[in-house]
Amino acid sequence: MQLPELPEPLASFQPEIGLILGSGLGFFADDRIEVAGRLPYSEIEGFPVSTVEGHAGQFVYGTVEEKRVICMQGRFHFYEGYSMAEVTKPIRLMHALGVRTLYITNAAGGIHPDFVSGDFMLLSDHINALGTNPLIGWQGKEGVPFPDMTEVYDRSLRRGLHAWAASQGVGLREGVYLATTGPSFETPAEVRAFAKLGADAVGMSTVPEAIVARKLAMRVLAISCITNAAAGISKTPLTHEEVTETAGRVRPQFADLLTAAIALA
């Protein structure tokens, strides 16, 4: 896959860390990044654009904790009609710019009975229920053909963030994330099946980006904001508005957590 040419300020920025901000979590770019520049996806030739409410649709780059970061303020989803190659194109672009550590965030529905709205969950592993894989039809010579997925989410980064959270009295869960295509929320029967498979939370993103990042030998840390209980557990109908409202409620705590994670890289 041929990657697009970028404006000189970003092309020469040499970011160390990539960030993907999920639904309702784009505020981090405005709250915590000392911004050097912004580049709307619409200004990148041949690049997808974000179509979901709450996804600003731009790269923001600058520094956090003296680390050079490039941030996706808005991601792409398979359910928007994009191919897996398009969904994960930003990861390949970040890698080409020099990023070797990727932080992925998402809003997820809680399946584990102990999880409540507003909890944060570090991903220890994932289940790919998307029915496809972003490495199918891979064009390019980057990475190994059959990447090992024994440890997708970096153990040392997870350990370090747990230590920080404990020192600050911040509740931080850990569990398995299951990705579905969406855009419909899951049925109660599906959620019961996912629980039997070992899933603690469910969402519609993250897994494609993580798989491509691991193929490219990038370190990956992923954080879910549990914004609602999944279908059959929740006592009310599921809505996208609930997702964004919960993300807004935990805004300062999430920003502190992600800032601390970046400092570990």
C-alpha to C-alpha distance for 74 and 258, rounded to whole angstroms: 16
77 is catalytic: yes
Q: Which of 29, 50, 55, 153 is catalytic?
A: 55
Query: Hey, which residues does 123 pair with through a beta bridge?
Result: 175
Q: Assess whether 156 carries a catalytic annotation.
A: no
204 catalytic, yes or no? yes
**Separation of alpha carbons 159 and 29, rounded Å:** 25
Sign of the alpha-carbon dihedral angle for 198, 243, 259, 217? positive
Please list, residue by residue across 41-69, b when 16 or more beta carbons sit within 10 angstroms of its beta carbon and e when fewer do.
beebeebbebebebbbbbbbbbbbeeebb
Radius of gyration of the chain (CA): 17
Instruction: Please name which of 228, 227, 230 lies closest in space to residue 185, comparing C-alpha atoms.
Output: 230
Options 36, 79, 86, 263, the catalytic residue: 79
* 79 assigned to active site: yes
**Residue 205 a catalytic site member:** yes
Residue 233, amino acid: I
Q: Is 213 helix (H, G, I), strand (E, B) or coil?
A: helix
* Active-site annotation holds for 228: yes
Choose, from 29, 72, 121, 204, the residue flagged as catalytic.
204
Out of 29, 41, 61, 80, the active site residue is: 80
- Cα–Cα dist 256/265, whole Å: 15
Catalytic residue among 129, 193, 240, 263: 240
- Per-residue CA distances from 167 to 64, 164, 172 (Å): 21, 5, 11
Which listed residue (50, 106, 117, 228) is catalytic? 228
Among 77, 95, 112, 126, the active-site one is: 77
Are 138 and 147 spatial neighbours (Cβ–Cβ below 8 Å)?
no
Neighbours of 184 (CB within 10 A): 12
State yes or no: is 55 an active-site residue.
yes
Any catalytic annotation for residue 107? yes
Catalytic site residues?
Answer: 23, 55, 77, 79-80, 107, 204-205, 228, 240
